[in-house]
Amino acid sequence: MMPLKEILLSLIAILIVVLVPHSDIIPAPFGYAIPVLIFIWFFLKRRKENFGSLGFSFKRFGIKPIFIGMLSGIIIFSFLTWIFFPLLEKLVELPPVNLGDFAKLKGNTGFYIFLLIMGWIIGGFYEELVFHGFIFSRLEKIIAGHYATIISFLLTNLIFALYHLQLGTSGVINALIAGVFYQALMLYYKRNMWYAIICHAVYDTIALTFIYGGY
């Protein structure tokens, strides 16, 4: 079992990486990404771990993760947009996703290109590394035991969903299902983070393109 001190440090680390992006500590758009990743790198290094311990390694990048990741991104976007939410809305009344600053995206090419880049860097790489990599691995070590993976899986994706609370109820539900899909993909392919990164980035690319086009 992990020592109590290490459990507390891991929980504090999780709080930091979840709360800092939603704070005004770093006012620049997406400026939190580099400091948070440096913090994770330092945290792992102190424990003789690295990003490879989370499932991220350039050696595991290749055609297969690209192809399956892209295809999976299209599938999960299509499922949520044209199957899941239309069926759910027949059962319960849901408010639309709160687009916030994304509302300015329609027809704005410069903003669209900027968000596409951020979609790959923040949505794909950063969020997957932080949530389905770092947070998941910390929870798995804290919980330990026979059910550590499944409990950590559920907790990680609940945190991931709540992280998107600013998008409203529909946005949280969307993030929960998408997050479960991203991480399931990563775990299925022997914890190769590239599958989830590319899937997430492609999902965001399609979503941003639809908003830009006014759909």
Note the pLDDT tens digit of each residue in 125-182. 999 999 999 999 999 999 999 999 999 999 999 999 999 999 999 999 999 999 999 9
Cα separation, 71 vs 195, in Å, equals 10
CA distances from 162 to 2, 100, 159, 167, 173 (A): 26, 16, 5, 10, 9
Cα separation, 143 vs 168, in Å, equals 30
Q: Which two tokens stand for residue 95?
A: 């408010």
Q: Give the per-residue pLDDT at 134.
A: 98
The percentage of the chain sitting over the pLDDT mark of 90, rounded to a whole number, equals 87
9-22 mean pLDDT:
96
Answer whether 14's CB lies under 8 Å from 135's CB: yes
* pLDDT at 44 > cutoff 90: yes
Q: Give the per-residue pLDDT at 146.
A: 92
